[in-house]
Structure 1
Amino acid sequence: MVQFALAYVLFMTAHVVPAAPRVRGLAVHMLGRGAYLALYSLISILLLVWLIAAARNAPTLSLWPLTPELGAVPLVVMPLALTLVVAGLSQSNPLSVSFRDRGFDLSRPGIVAVTRHPVLWGFVLWALSHVAVNGDVVSVALFGGLALYAAAGLGLADKRAKSRLGLDRWTSLAAHTSILPFAAVLAGRARLAVDRPTLAAILVGLAFYVWFLAGGHLWLFGADPLIYLRS
């Protein structure tokens, strides 16, 4: 439990401290936005792997039984979550987290037509789907906390984008997308089209999904995602 608490504190610290405008601004100025996001993502992934491993080694206090139905939840949700993360990081998106903030074209918004925060929504879906299949106190605290943190980032990302782009530019771009996935499409403010970058992101996301099922998840986290369906 001590290792889990330490990993949790370090993971949250690594996300809260860089979120401070002065710290983030200095880091982006020194490294460049792309390099900063790449380094930030790498550190986040390493800390997340450690955090999940520590959670698995912590004492277990079950809150609900694990069933094949609950085990199927992440199997259904994760293809979408992975696609959102891959597309969000790889496609140009000046409104949110992305490795590319230049070259955005409103006539070809890609994943931004679905939501202006695809990466954050990908993490929300990932975390919530893992709450369902990990019904113990530590896992609920872990994945539930991560889901809340990612959800809280939606408003924070809008605030940062407004500051970076200016209110007029942000308003003109945000008018053609939405925070809630598919809300702008349903309202007629955005047109959903699977262009080449989006299709590539879907294929890469599915490749990651297949790799996880084929042993990647077991290798990284010591858990077989198909075990509940085999029992």
Structure 2
Amino acid sequence: MAWAGFIVAFIAFFVTHSLPVRPPLRPILVRALGPRGFGLAYGALSLGALTWLIIAAGQAPFVPLWSWAPWQNGVALILMGLSCIIFSLGLGRPNPFSFGGAQNYLFDPQRPGIVRLTRHPLLTALAVWALAHLIPNGDLAHVILFGVFAGFASFGGLLVDRRKRREMGQGWQMLKDDMGRQAHAVAFMSAPVSDALRIVVAGFVYVGLLWLHPRVIGVNPII
């Protein structure tokens, strides 16, 4: 079956993403590896499965849906830069509204940073990443691949909101209202120096991804 490799990679991706974070497997892995070790191992596993899935999509039968044009790469490069910035600004910082936050008790609704623009910055970064790759890849396999990721990221925030509302009760709405009252520009920043450093890191990550892309995926996004 010509599509078998793509289907197997898709199944493997979702299995490796869902099983390790569900009981009873997650507590066992956390005890064995420690919280930090589990996070690193899960991240490496996720990245490996994603790389496999993208390569499998490139090897699937080519069924064109729209034609490629040079401008598509330019749009993709811009969107990828934006995705890197959003991801860097959102990763591992206080954010009681979503997953991926750290030390959420330190969250300041008067200086929410990227959380004021999107309660789910990691999902937003994923959606922008998927859109960036969907535009220049108009064949069926890649449309399925990146379309699924874009849909998951877009609707995933609604599911997280529902879960967080249930967990936080009235505190969710109160915290959201407090954050919404902050209208001045400085409210978009949580710590100016920290945010600036995160943007610099995003730039290095962006350059690193451009360097790795042709070596890992086999496609040079600049050409």
Structure 1 match to 2:216: 220
Q: State percent identity of aligned pairs.
A: 32
Q: What CA deviation, in whole Å up to 9, does each residue of 1:99-141 have, x standing for no partner?
A: 5143222232222122110000000010011110101000000
Please say if 1:124 is aligned against 2:127.
yes
Structure 1 gaps, min length 5? 178-183
Q: What CA deviation, in whole Å up to 9, does each residue of 1:174-206 have, x standing for no partner?
A: 2245xxxxxx59x93982236222212211111
Q: Give the Å deviation of 1:35.
A: 5.6
| Aligned residues between the structures | 217
Q: Give the Å deviation of 1:219.
A: 1.8
Alignment partner of 2:170 out of 168, 171, 174: 168
Cα gap change, 1:25/1:46 in structure 2, threshold over 3 Å: closer, same or farther?
A: closer
CA contact (8 A) 1:82 1:208 kept: yes
Secondary structure at 1:174 match in 2: helix
Pairwise mapping of residues 183-198 of structure 1 onto structure 2 (< 5 A)?
188=183, 191-193=187-189, 195-198=192-195
Cα gap change, 1:4/1:86 in structure 2, threshold over 3 Å: closer, same or farther?
A: same
**Aligned equivalents of 1:169, 1:76: Cα separation in 2:** 37
Task: Quote the RMSD (CA, aligned, Å).
Answer: 2.8
Q: Give the Å deviation of 1:28.
A: 9.4
CA contact (8 A) 1:33 1:99 kept: no
TM-score (norm 2): 0.84
**Aligned equivalents of 1:96, 1:68: Cα separation in 2:** 37
**Aligned equivalents of 2:184, 2:147: Cα separation in 1:** 32
CA contact (8 A) 1:82 1:205 kept: yes
Cα gap change, 1:13/1:81 in structure 2, threshold over 3 Å: closer, same or farther?
A: same
Cα gap change, 1:151/1:33 in structure 2, threshold over 3 Å: closer, same or farther?
A: farther
